Amino acid sequence: MTTPLDAPRVAYLFTAAMADNTQQAGTIVPADDMSAEWGGYDQSAQQDILAALGAHTRHALRMLRDKLGAEIEMDWDSTARVVCSEALGAARELVRPEPGEWILPECAHCREVVAKAMCSLQIQAYFRLGFTPARIAAMCRQSADEPEAAAHP
């Protein structure tokens, strides 16, 4: 279990794990152990982690927009085929520049898909900014270990 104060750290570590796997696989794919770890958190903790992942993703997308004038989005069509409409709505809201209220999806599977999609968006944004997956993982781990840096990778 985690407390809300741990959620940003957990979110960074999820992204770091996906970046490590991306480095090894050569494509953005979640690590096999991400599902097991995600399932170890209760619904309340998953909500906090999703909120933190949303903040981290918005930061990465803002950096990409500010530095390169580029925009990327989640593949909404593909995502819609594997999650419920509630999860799709939450994902859309979480990555908006100014997110509003969002409803936590009831389904644990859908919450996990949204979490992984946000990790993927972060990796894509940082990669386009010139960071290697190994560097992205290192930045995330550094942010996870430094509470004062947890708001910005």
- Rounded Cα distance, 18 and 33, in Å: 10
Confidence of residue 146 (pLDDT cuts 50, 70, 90): low
Span 4-34, pLDDT tens digits: 458 999 999 999 999 998 888 777 777 667 8
Mean pLDDT for the stretch of residues 122-146: 93
The two structure tokens encoding residue 94: 């979480």
Confidence of residue 153 (pLDDT cuts 50, 70, 90): very low
The two structure tokens encoding residue 34: 């991400």
Confidence of residue 152 (pLDDT cuts 50, 70, 90): very low
pTM above 0.75, yes or no: yes
Span 57-112, pLDDT tens digits: 999 999 999 999 998 888 777 877 888 888 888 888 888 888 888 888 888 888 99
Q: What is the structure's pLDDT at 4?
A: 46
Confidence of residue 149 (pLDDT cuts 50, 70, 90): very low
Q: What is the three-class DSSP state of 51?
A: helix
**Do 110 and 83 meet the contact criterion of CB atoms below 8 Å apart?**
yes
How many H helices and E strands in the chain? Answer: 7, 0
